[in-house]
Chains A and B, each alone.
Chain A
């Protein structure tokens, strides 16, 4: 069974601070996605990283896929209250019986205080 561990589970910071959340596994994934979820809504895809070592930027958000394709990080620069939400990472397995499924982490709940 593939598992994704996210850390920290909870994070409360002041507006303008920087933060990094992590997604780690002992398994190798063909790709990894990050989602953001607001209360009462479904998760929304932010980014997909596919290549080991890949870095993608989405405005103030920087996503990195580990060289070994087992881990990823999300860095937010100058956090804003609008960044508040639950951040989920999900890994796509390689081919096999489980290849129709995504493995989700338990999420990092971020609160940005004005």
Chain B
């Protein structure tokens, strides 16, 4: 079965510091991978998605970037965090073309 690992679970970072969140998937190859941000336990905002190594699509212009260095690895980064980057970040694997999504445990990021 497929599993998705995301870490760390919580992170407190000062304004202006860099960020690196990592997500890895097991049990599948060539997965479609996604980064979402969720504010205050509400809806999911799609940030980036990737359909293959080195292929990144950005949905929202912002202070963040994403990379796909390996088939089953997806990284969310920032060079300088802003207060507005605080939130709950979720990595997801979506089976096929836009069908069911399987999520990591999430990372609660607080920028102080």
Contact between B42 and A45, CB atoms less than 8 A apart = no
Binary interface encoding of chain A residues 88-105 relative to chain B, with 1 for a CB under 8 A from any of its CBs, else 0: 101011010011111011
B46 beta carbon closer than 8 Å to chain A = yes
Q: How many residues of A contact B (CB 8 A)?
A: 29
Known A-B contacts A40-B108, A100-B97, A109-B41; the reply to A45 vs B46 at CB < 8 A is no
Q: Nearest Cβ in chain B — how far from A63, in angstroms?
A: 14
Contacts of B7 in A (CB 8 A): none
Known A-B contacts A93-B98, A100-B94, A102-B98; the reply to A42 vs B103 at CB < 8 A is yes
B: contact size bracket: 20 to 34
Interface majority SS on B: helix, strand, loop or mixed?
Answer: strand
- CB-nearest residue of chain A relative to B92? A42
Known A-B contacts A39-B41, A107-B43, A109-B41; the reply to A102 vs B94 at CB < 8 A is yes
Q: Nearest Cβ in chain B — how far from A93, in angstroms?
A: 6
Residues of B participating in the A interface, judged by any CB pair closer than 8 Å: 6, 32, 34, 36, 41-44, 46, 49, 51, 90, 92, 94, 97-106, 108
Residues of A participating in the B interface, judged by any CB pair closer than 8 Å: 30-31, 33, 35, 37, 39-45, 48, 86, 88, 90, 92-93, 95, 98-102, 104-107, 109
